[in-house]
Amino acid sequence: MTLGRKNSELIPGEAVVRDVIPAGEYWIDIVKKGKTLRIVDVEGNQAADTLFFNAADVAERYSAVDTIREQRNVYLSCGSRLLSTSGNVMAEITADTVGRHDTLGGACAAE
């Protein structure tokens, strides 16, 4: 798989929900199958610590190990499928203006 950059074809002004989350804060919600979650670093130089769980069974969560192994790439970008601990596709990166993301470190603490 060739990773790379791709601008979203979606129009931000047509978003059903648009939340701006201050640095250090969190957002939690259910993103239904077929829907798009867009994360934008509006101030620059921020990292979006992102965790995915199956809303029907929170024991099933995003697995960096399974995702990296199956895609044979440490870095994720457009086209990457994010796999769960059960091997299910939880999300797919459909647009990406950064070009590569490292999910090995997990989420950081406020400290």
Query: Are the beta carbons of 105 and 29 closer than 8 angstroms?
Result: no
Domain ranges across the chain: 52-104
Question: What mean pLDDT do residues 103-110 have?
Answer: 64
Q: How far apart are CA 56 and CA 83, in angstroms?
A: 16
User: Looking at residue 1, what is its pLDDT?
Assistant: 47
Residue 28 makes CB contacts below 8 A (sequence gap 6+) with none
* Mean pLDDT of all residues belonging to the chain: 83
One-letter amino acid of 39: I
CA atoms within 13 A on the CB side of 105: 8
User: Looking at residue 53, what is its pLDDT?
Assistant: 93
- Would the pTM of this model clear 0.85, i.e. be above it? no
